[in-house]
Amino acid sequence: MGRMLEEAVRYARAQDLLHPGMHVLVACSGGPDSLALLDMLLQFRRRFRLVLTAAHFEHGIRGASSAEDARFVAAFCRERKVPCFIGHGDVPAVAKAQGKSVELAARELRYAFLWQTLERCGADVLATAHHADDQAETVLMRILRGTGLDGLAAMKPREGKKIRPLLFARREDILGYCQERGLTPRHDATNDIPDCTRNLLRLKVLPYLRQSCNPEVARALCQLAELARVDCDYLEQQLEESWPYLTREEDGRCSIVLIAFQRRHPALQRRALRRLYTGMAGMGRDLGFSHVEELRLLALSGQATGKTMELPGGIEAHFTYDRLILRPALPKREPQESASAVPVIVPGRIDYGEAVLEAELLEALPAGDGSRGFYLDAGVLRGAPLVLRHRQPGDFIELPTGRKKLKEVLIDDKVPREMRAGLLLLATGHEILWVVGRRRTSHYPVTDQTKRILYFQIKEKGNKK
């Protein structure tokens, strides 16, 4: 066995990439990297008892040359009795129609085909031929665009059902392997044109850095990626252990407990915010540094209660007294005038929005009132008229400890700011008798001297119970 194959076996075992009896779908473009990968796996087939299938996506970018690539891969596989799936697409047309770069459209269409093929043939993993020089290009590209520790980790040997068995190998070693094995891979001429960021880095920037700064720049960048990957794994492990203490699950929605969040290291705080967002937005969506940091500083400020913040993907962050909640952003509505005060007729029934208030006079206390019932001495009727309404400036309520502004009561009760304007109030003038479902006045109590009791019940419209 040659040196390259020995290294490939060691790497596959060290990274736990191949298992006995595994069905591997190999993405093969026909170029040197993917052809070498398919050839190596064919040599591993007996040792690992592998089942191999190949897949090639003909993207239509290079016309007749693209079609010839597909025929070449099909013939290569046929000679070696490897099942091969060929997919076709018009990448330039899709890129134009969707307003995307050709590179992005090609990647999306290619991977859509590969994952569909994996499901179709029942393979366990998808093997791609990314190598060490690809890794160096990826790390450098992410540094230039702006990235964090996860971005520096770049490509991993295994990500879900995707494996990269050649991530240890340099491009020159792969070309040498092809020559030793007598392989005649196809050449994609578009890779020789510095018309996109990756090609520019590979053809211009990295050669310059090798010549002027560090002959081993690719190795250094790959080493950086490996160190970042291990550190990321450790931070994820720490976050996983902290997650049950950092969060609460209610009504199928996860929220961050602010007091627990504030005690964590900033590295875990940022990671927790990103995980919360990904859980809401879906895998493949991440939150940028500026949004993460703005959220984090708000959470640490102690003054975030009631604030909301718009995030990408139609999501908004909302702070309550003790939680950070992510939720779908509510559609913006034109401001509407709040419902005016409605006089309360005793006895009688009053409709107010989706609520119904029933009022009656009793000779004795009701059997039970609960949070949706309220009673007081009917002597209140000798004062200002009773009304059902929402909050107004100057509102107050009489409590056993004395008179208190309604605003202060709602703050003490930790009622979220966005809910306060919608609270239903039974009032006489600016005196609040009942914050429906919450607080009741201590004024006008029912005593032995009470002759008649004024009793209220609040119901949802359409509910007669």
H, E, C per residue of 133-193: HHHHHHHHHHHHHCCCHHHHHCCCCEECCEECCCCCCCHHHHHHHHHHCCCCCCCCHHHHC
The pLDDT of residue 253: 83
Structure tokens at 99: 């307003």
Q: Is 134 labelled a binding residue?
A: no
Strand 23-27 to 51-58 pairing? parallel
Q: Is 173 labelled a binding residue?
A: no
Bond from prior residue into 215 cis (ω within 30 degrees of 0): no
Q: Is 34 labelled a binding residue?
A: yes
Gyration radius of the chain's alpha carbons: 34
What is the rounded CA–CA span in Å between residue 351 and residue 438? 20
Helix (H, G, I), strand (E, B) or coil at 63: coil
The pLDDT of residue 100: 86
Q: Is 212 labelled a binding residue?
A: no
Q: Is 340 labelled a binding residue?
A: no
Q: How many CB atoms lie within 10 A of CB 353?
A: 12
Per-residue pLDDT of the chain (465 residues; tens, 9 = 90+): 688 999 999 999 999 999 999 999 999 999 999 999 999 999 999 888 999 999 999 988 888 898 999 999 999 999 999 999 999 988 888 888 998 888 889 999 999 999 999 999 999 999 999 999 999 999 999 999 889 999 999 999 999 999 999 999 999 999 999 999 999 999 888 888 887 889 999 999 999 999 999 999 999 999 999 999 999 999 999 999 999 999 998 877 899 999 999 999 999 999 999 999 998 888 667 888 999 999 999 999 988 888 889 999 889 999 988 999 998 876 554 444 445 788 988 888 888 887 888 888 888 877 665 667 888 888 877 777 889 999 999 999 999 888 999 998 888 887 877 778 888 899 989 999 999 888 889 888 888 888 888 888 888 776 655
> CA angle at residue 268 from 253 to 135, to 5 degrees?
105
Q: What are phi and psi of 25, to 5 degrees?
A: -95, 120
Q: Are 8 and 165 in contact (CB under 8 A)?
A: yes
The pLDDT of residue 164: 97
Q: Facing residues of 359 across strands?
A: 348, 456
> CA angle at residue 69 from 67 to 72, to 5 degrees?
115
Q: Whose CA is closest to 458, among 379, 377, 334, 375? A: 375
Please report which helix (H) or strand (E) contains residue 65, including its range: helix 64-79
**Long-range contacts: 358-363, Cβ < 8 Å, 24+?**
358/456, 358/457, 358/458, 358/459, 359/454, 359/455, 359/456, 360/454, 360/455, 361/452, 361/453, 361/454, 361/455, 362/452, 362/453, 362/454, 362/455, 363/452, 363/453
Helix (H, G, I), strand (E, B) or coil at 353: coil
Q: How many CB atoms lie within 10 A of CB 407?
A: 14
Which domains occur in the chain, in start order? 3-191 (3.40.50.620), 251-328 (3.30.465.60), 342-460 (no CATH)
Alpha helices in 190-288, H assignment, sequence order: 197-200, 206-212, 217-246, 258-262, 266-281
Structure tokens at 64: 């007749």
The pLDDT of residue 463: 61
Sign of the C-alpha dihedral, residues 409, 410, 411, 415?
Answer: positive
Q: Are 430 and 341 in contact (CB under 8 A)?
A: no
The pLDDT of residue 357: 87
What is the rounded CA–CA span in Å between residue 347 and residue 380? 14
Q: DSSP letters along 81-112, please?
A: T--EEEEE--HHHHHHHHT--HHHHHHHHHHH
Alpha helices in 248-384, H assignment, sequence order: 258-262, 266-281, 289-301
The predicted-structure confidence for 35-57, as pLDDT tens digits, reads as follows 999 999 999 998 889 999 999 99
Name every residue whose Cβ is closer than 8 Å to that of residue 213 and which is 6 or more positions away in sequence. Answer: none
Q: Whose CA is closest to 360, among 426, 452, 447? A: 452
| Full-model pTM | 0.71
The predicted-structure confidence for 425-455, as pLDDT tens digits, reads as follows 999 899 999 998 888 898 888 888 888 888 8
Phi-psi region of 185 (alpha: psi -120 to 50; beta: other; left: phi over 0): beta
Please report which helix (H) or strand (E) contains residue 376, including its range: strand 373-377
Q: Is 33 labelled a binding residue?
A: yes
The pLDDT of residue 1: 61
The pLDDT of residue 25: 98
